[in-house]
Amino acid sequence: DILLSNDSKILINPVEPVNKPQELTPHFLIEFEKSMFIEPNAKKIIFVKFPVEIGVFVHGKKKFQILDVLTLNKQKFTLYGDVVGGVICKYWKSEVYSTLPDTNPVYEGVIKINITNTTARWVEVTQTVFAAHGMKIYYSDDRVAMSANMKIVSKKVAEVDFVNSPLEKGMKRSLELYTSRLTKIPVVATRFLMDEGI
């Protein structure tokens, strides 16, 4: 392809990891390698990895337009919930880390998850589901990252949303592919209610 423009620029940055092989769903599920058990009324911080997708944008005077999305990762999908009322999710499996893990930023990023167990009982957590419309991705030369909150409200239900702040100083905010599409959609949920199990 040839780009014919006098004053356009190319922008390359990470985008929400739900665009490849094609845009099928705005939901993204990370299954944990091992279950976690969270004590009653506790707050914990964990880190998980996610697959990086790279967006290639052209920028004119006022607008950004996506040219392509690239990834080095294999693509998998899964169903969260039952066959009738469940949602299709992009799928990724990750270990759970108590400290910030090393990653190759072309291949994987890191999500810092602040987990709050608001219940009076121990809760097992095996996965988390995110809405791409709320993702806030930040990047630097050596890291791609997001931050999220997971509020456990019962043994099987949690609310998950993203935090709009960089994981480390000096990180740049990515241009959001899903946010740029919101002009066509009047109301979009940026939070995901996990009501089919955590």
Structure confidence by residue, pLDDT tens digits, 39-92: 999 999 999 999 999 998 888 777 788 888 999 999 999 999 888 888 999 999
| CB-count burial class (<10 Å; 0-12, 13-18, 19+) for 73 | middle
Identify any residues that bridge with 158 across adjacent strands, giving them in sequence order: 152, 194
- Which residues partner with 43 through β-bridges? 116
For 184, phi then psi, to 5°, come to -90, -15
State the Cα–Cα distance between residues 77 and 79, nearest whole angstrom.
7
The segment with the largest mean pLDDT, out of 102-106, 131-135, 177-181, is 102-106
Q: What does pTM read for this prediction?
A: 0.87
Terminal-to-terminal C-alpha distance of the chain: 45
pLDDT band at 187 (very low <50, low <70, confident <90, very high): very low
Answer with the residue of higher pLDDT: 59 or 139.
Answer: 139
Which residues does residue 197 pair with via DSSP β-bridges, in sequence order? none
At 142 the three-state DSSP class reads coil
Burial 126-143 (b: 16+ CB within 10 A, else e): ebbbbbbbbbbbbbeeeb
pLDDT of residue 184: 45
Give the other-Cβ count within 10 Å of 173's Cβ. 13
Residues 6 or more apart from 127 whose CB is under 8 A from it? Answer: 29, 30, 31, 32, 80, 197, 198
**pLDDT average, residue stretch 194-198:** 68
Local structure of 1: helix, strand or coil: coil
What the block records as the tokens of 158 is 């949690």
Distances (CA, A) of 68 to 17, 97, 103, 177: 13, 32, 23, 11
Q: How confident is the model at residue 191 (pLDDT cuts 50, 70, 90)?
A: low
> What sections of 46-190 are H helices per DSSP?
177-180
Say if residue 9's pLDDT is above 60: yes
Contact between residue 182 and residue 189 where contact means Cβ atoms under 8 Å apart: no
Q: pLDDT at position 4, please?
A: 54
Q: Which range among 4-18, 129-143, 157-171 shows the weakest confidence by mean pLDDT?
A: 4-18
Confidence of residue 94 (pLDDT cuts 50, 70, 90): very high
Instruction: State the Cα–Cα distance between residues 163 and 143, nearest whole angstrom.
Output: 17
Q: Where are the domains of the chain?
A: 9-194
Q: Is the pLDDT of residue 7 over 50?
A: yes
Neighbouring C-alpha atoms within 13 Å toward the C-beta of 48: 27
